[in-house]
Amino acid sequence: MVEIFQILGQEIYKILFLLIPILVSVAMIVWLDRRVWGLVQKRKGPNVVGPFGLFQTLADALKYIFKEIIIPASANKTVFIIAPIITMTLALIAWAVIPMSEKLVLADINVGILYLFAVSSLGVYGIIMGGWASNSKYPFLGAIRSAAQMVSYEVSIGIIIINVLLCVGSLNLNDIVIAQKDLWYIIPLFPMFVIFFISSLAETNRPPFDLPEAEAELVAGYQTEYSGMMYAMFWLGEYANILLMCAMGAILFLGGWLPIVDIYPINIVPAPIWMILKILFLFFLFALIKAIVPRYRYDQLMRLGWKIFLPFSLIYLVLTASFLFYFDKLPKGNF
Amino acid sequence: MIAHSIFFYFFSIIAIFSSLMVITSRNTINSVFFLILDFISVGCLFIMVGAEFLGMIILIVYVGAVAVLFLFVVMMLNVAEQKQSWFIGKKSTHLPTGLIVSVLIFFELLVVVGGWKYKDNLMSSSTLDISSISNTHQLGLVMYTDYILYFQLAGVILLLSMIGAILLTFRERSGVKKQSYFKQISRSPESSIELKEVDSNKGVKIDD
């Protein structure tokens, strides 16, 4: 019995060491996002609180904590409260399988990429529950939009993941990274990387696909009725999800924790630093896109997902498979 | 081992409780939420017996896609109206059908479980090697060799039902203005702009 508690204690210790850096980096990433957005528009962005305005998000979070939580009278209370909790939890538990180096990973499970995909596909529930439980028109419309959007783009993300898996022959995230030792998959699978990036914009409801919270049409979409800490949980969960999609992109296409080239002065930089740099690079692209691209119309969004991305990634899947088969490059696997 | 059984009972109690709640809860939305909880706990049970691929697929397919569509349908329907005609009204035509289907499923379950218990080599496979390879590889090896026909048939049936559903809801509407990207892009000033000399006090006729 004592041993069980010891193991439990160790695991909790590890989990805390994973969660706290992620929460801090989510706060920093919000600052970075606003900063990049500001600089693109020739503004300064948040630069007052702390050095370079780094503590802006902490100040915002403090403000949200002390604000009153308002629950609408006609809302379904339980679901209303559960919704932001689900969003936040799902955004955080996915990080358990992300490898920061070969050894530095909380759960090195066999089906890591499926776990990531499953968790990101569950993310829609937080939004749809929040929108429905608010019992109000704008949140409901926003939730329906967002659910349809996320389900549509998951399909093409799934096929892109299959593309990568065909080249690797394993569902383990560390295996996926190690398989890219000679050649990052962004080079042979470049079109898939582009589609993955755009789909992950849609999956996380980022501009130009931020229709669920399109201010001009839907006030604030599914989060209209939320206030105080519950709103902040939606907001942090969304950014944690964005960071997660960046990590997924880095692992699938940019070689995860591998250094850019494996020669002496570069490969002494520790692996987690490379991983963080790649995530930051992808996030920088996310932030740039937010600033420079106008919002899509809803039918255009659906057309892009179903009529362009899905067929294209399917065709590319067939191409990849035939290429690998013809040149006898199919992974033999270690089973 | 203790931890394993604690988790097993935890998830199975949740599964049984939520499946009971699916059929007893008054609010239809709540029963869909309990259905989702049921799927999740069944997925966790699959992972606990070592079938991690199946568990994840249940999470992705059922929870991530099918249940979302359930939720959609239930949210869009007028639930209060539906409730009356199902149970309270005189014409409960759904009850016999449901009974027949559930009895069939129950017998199927009996056959499968009984057959599995009393005849060891009921579902034997020549290619399956349980000992050394991972779960996902095993599934792939069996599914694309011994059961390729059933696998493909299931795929074709799904495709057919998808096409059927699309055909049922598809209506060709005339007079709807549609945006054609190719037309928009291939337009040039020569084909769409015309310069006209307009005499004063006469105007000009433009054909649209």
The stretch A307-333 carries a mean pLDDT of 87
3-state secondary structure of A32: helix
DSSP 3-state assignment of B45?
helix
B70-74, B104-108, B125-129: the lowest-pLDDT one: B125-129
Asked which of A114-118, A201-205, B99-103, B198-202 is least confident by mean pLDDT, the reply is B198-202
B36 interfacial to chain A (CB closer than 8 Å): yes
d(CA A314, CA A308): 10
**ipTM above threshold 0.90:** no
Taking the Cβ of residue B56 and every Cβ of chain A, the question of whether any pair is shorter than 8 Å is answered with yes
**Which chain A residues touch B29 with a CB distance below 8 Å?**
76, 79, 132
Cα atoms in the Cβ-side hemisphere of radius 13 Å centred on A304:
18
Are A154 and B65 within 8 A, CB to CB? yes
Write a three-state SS string for A96-148: HHCCCCCCCCCCCCCCHHHHHHHHHHHCHHHHHHHHHHCCCHHHHHHHHHHHH
Structure tokens at A320: 């990849």
Of all residues in chain A, the one with the smallest CA distance to B76 is A144
Q: What DSSP state is assigned to residue B133?
A: S
Q: Where are the domains of chain A?
A: 67-326
pLDDT tens-digit series, residues B24-68 = 887 788 888 899 999 999 998 988 888 888 888 888 888 888 888
Tell whether B49 is within 8 A of chain A (Cβ): no
What pLDDT is stored for residue B126 in this prediction?
57
A115 touches chain B (CB under 8 A): yes
State how far the Cα of A177 lies from the Cα of A161, in Å rounded to an integer.
Answer: 13
How far apart CA A106 and CA A15 sit, in angstroms, is 7
* Residue owning tokens 């006729």: B205
Select from A109, A125, A129 the Cβ nearest to the Cβ of B52.
A109
Question: SS3 sequence, chain A?
Answer: CHHHHHHHHHHHHHHHHHHHHHHHHHHHHHHHHHHHHHHHCCCCCCCCCCHHHCCHHHHHHHHHHHCCCCCCCCCCHHHHHHHHHHHHHHHHHHHHHCCCCCCCCCCCCCCHHHHHHHHHHHCHHHHHHHHHHCCCHHHHHHHHHHHHHHHHHHHHHHHHHHHHHHHHCCCCHHHHHHCCCCCCCCCCCHHHHHHHHHHHHHHCCCCCCCHHHCHHHHCCHHHCCCCHHHHHHHHHHHHHHHHHHHHHHHHHHCCCCCCCCCCHHHHCCCHHHHHHHHHHHHHHHHHHHHHHCCCCCHHHHHHHHHHHHHHHHHHHHHHHHHHHHHCCCCCCCCC
Residue count of chain A, please give it. Answer: 335
Residues of B in contact with A79 (CB under 8 A): 29, 33
Q: Predicted confidence band at A50 (pLDDT cuts at 50, 70, 90)?
A: confident
* Res B125: pLDDT: 56
Residue A316 has pLDDT above 90, yes or no: yes
Q: Is the pLDDT of residue A1 over 80?
A: no
Helix or strand run (H / E) with residue A304: none
Least confident of A222-226, A244-248, B16-20: A222-226
Residue B56 has its nearest CB partner, among A111, A154, A333, at A111
State the first-to-last Cα distance of chain A, in angstroms, to the nearest integer. Answer: 36
pLDDT higher than 90, residue B163 = yes
pLDDT of residue B71: 84
Q: Which of A238-252, B3-17, B105-119 has the lowest mean pLDDT?
A: B105-119
When pLDDT is averaged across residues A195-199 and rounded to a whole number, the result is: 92
Q: Please, what is the average pLDDT of chain B?
A: 81
Q: How far apart are CA A94 and CA B59, in angstroms?
A: 14
Does A121 reach chain B within 8 Å, measured CB to CB? yes
Asked whether the beta carbons of residue A132 and residue B68 sit closer than 8 angstroms, the reply is no
